[in-house]
Chain A
Amino acid sequence: MDMDRTDEQLLETVADLHGVPEGSFNIRKNGKLLGRRSDADIEIASKTDKDGIDIIVKPGVKNKSVHIPVLLTVGDFKDTVYNDFYIGEGADVTIIAGCGIHNATCSDAQHDGIHTFYVAKNAKVRYVERHYASGEGTGKKVFDPITKIYLKENAQFVLESTQLGGVTCSDRKTFATVGKKAQLIVKEKILTDGEEKVLTDFKVKLSGKGSRADIVSRSVAKGHSVQHFRSDLAGKSECFGHVECDGIVLDNARIMSTPRIDAVSPEASLVHEAAVGKIAGEQMLKLMSLGLSEKEAEDAVIKGFLN
């Protein structure tokens, strides 16, 4: 594969990759395929009607991983990609889908990943999505991902989504329908600084009996950045849902949280918690009493919080 130093750094940041990964992978750079490996367990095929790929995990495939990182290293470019994942019955896989933008130009670079997951009965997926942007140019670095998740009976989906800096603006949407005894776990971490803006929006339907959702979003906003967390959790059956939004604001930043819970069924049990504010004074005092400076204490709290 033809990769330069910037490509390698982005790959390492968004997908922990040092060169070519093990197992199946698909690396996309500036709208083109850079490399792909498909195997008997996990098949990757290009879509014929639009930009994107189908990732098909065969039933019963266990302990396998797929890397599908995307790199964007030019300005004046908008890359929209439709990826559909078909996870077979009883499979257990990890999917790593980081995207890195390096934009050193004064025009905008944008990547919109539209990802849809069809998770069959008893299957388990751990989906890791990291968004990161760098580059000194004045051009914007934008991510507007859409993630749709359909969970069949007893399926489990863990979404670990991280956006830790450099992204000018982002509108992140996640939709999920959780079937009988299925489980959705979301761990979202967002850090913004400067003039950055993020909107993150979850719409989750707990439709099956015994379904569960646990959505935890932790965010840190610095500088003049603005974050808005929105969630809409509907319990349509006997189910349990929990949404938690924890935010730390520094400088002149702002975090808004708008949770909505709707117990459509009287058997639904739904909880939401939200807490937004400065770092607790006692946390700062504790760390400073260990010899840390104010700045070091602040960094330690944030690092732990987003750990």
Chain B
Amino acid sequence: MLELKDIGYAVKDERTGRKQDILKGVDLCFKDGTISVITGPNGSGKSTLIKILMGFERPTSGKILFDGEDITGISVTERARKGFTIAFQQPVRFKGITVKKLLELACGKKLDTEGMCDCLSSVGLCARNYIDRSVDGTLSGGELKRIELATAIAKGGEVFLLDEPEAGIDLWSFEDLVKVFEKLRDKTVIIVSHQQRILEIADQVVLFERDKLICAGKREEMFTKLTQRPNACWRDIKEN
């Protein structure tokens, strides 16, 4: 089980020099064997929370407990070795590192064509076309995104942090993508998404709103909440 206790994250506003809260008093619980989907308007701190969970950013206050152990201060590498796995919102490009090499680094062993097939076919790519390709700008955005997901699956783990995994992937393959997430159901899966089809597979939905307490609940009750209120983003603009 992954627990967040009173997590806060603040940055200094470059312009005014004042402290700006990105996250404040976040208490959340992600149970084993569940899929949680985090949703909410742009700039509400969803990706920041993912980065804090992976250890890319340190929270300015609060604690993160994993199976009861305080992991707030441990490094990215240590978290990865404890079973934390992330798929970036914007996949990183590497000059010279091939798709094969990246997958090998992810799973920690050499891969033959068959092994590559296992990794790539689940995200709808044919291994033969990618063996010697570098993970760089010569691949399309959608291809990079699929490879990012394949890397996460190849690495494996206990906690999967997937930041907008569907962004840039064509709608035609959506159902297959959903199947990929379904296969991870025995793990702790945390997905940032705005897509209804992904929200539908959630056991828990977490709603982020700017300047408001984050609320989380079972899918059905959160759906009612979401449909009853006007769009959070637009409401801000209308009210201001």
Contact = CB atoms under 8 A, between A and B. Distances in A.
Interface of A: 218, 246, 280, 282-283, 285-294, 300-301, 304-307
Given A285-B76, A290-B106, A292-B105, A305 B81 contact: no
A101 to B, nearest CB: 27
Nearest to B107: A290
A286 B97 CA distance: 12
Contacts of B85: 289
Contact of A283 (B80, B84, B94): B94
Contacts of B79: 289
B92 A304 contact: no
Contacts of B37: none
A291 B77 contact: yes
Interface string B109-126: 000000000000000000
B80 A307 contact: no
7 contacts: A218-B96, A282-B92, A286-B88, A291-B80, A291-B81, A304-B95, A304-B98
Contacts of A305: 94-97
A290 B155 contact: yes
B191 interface: no
The 8 closest A-B pairs by CB, nearest first: A304-B97, A304-B96, A291-B80, A286-B92, A288-B76, A305-B96, A307-B96, A282-B92
Interface in B43-83: 54, 56, 75-77, 79-81
B198 interface: no
B108 interface: yes
Interface of B: 54, 56, 75-77, 79-81, 84-86, 88, 92, 94-98, 101, 105-106, 108, 134, 151, 155
A306 B108 CA distance: 21
A304 B94 contact: yes
B95 A246 contact: yes
A280 B135 CA distance: 14
Contacts of A285: 56, 76, 92
Contacts of B97: 300-301, 304-305, 307
A307 B101 CA distance: 11
A301 B92 contact: no
A300 to B, nearest CB: 6
Nearest to A294: B77
A291 B101 contact: no
A246 B95 CA distance: 10
A258 to B, nearest CB: 21
B155 A291 contact: yes
A307 B134 CA distance: 11
Contacts of B106: 290
Given A289-B86, A290-B151, A283 B92 contact: yes
Contacts of B84: 289
A215 to B, nearest CB: 16
Contacts of B54: 289
Of B75, B105, B108, B151, the most chain A CB neighbours within 10 A belong to B105
A293 B108 CA distance: 13
A288 B88 CA distance: 13
A305 B97 CA distance: 7
B92 A290 contact: no
Contacts of A290: 80, 105-106, 151, 155
Contacts of B86: 289
A305 B88 CA distance: 21
A133 B116 CA distance: 37
A173 B7 CA distance: 58
Given A285-B56, A285-B76, A304-B101, A291 B96 contact: no
Nearest to B161: A289
Of A282, A283, A288, the most chain B CB neighbours within 10 A belong to A288
Of A280, A304, A306, the most chain B CB neighbours within 10 A belong to A304
Nearest to B51: A285
Nearest to A306: B96
A301 B94 CA distance: 7
A291 to B, nearest CB: 4
A280 B151 CA distance: 19
A286 B102 CA distance: 10
A165 to B, nearest CB: 17
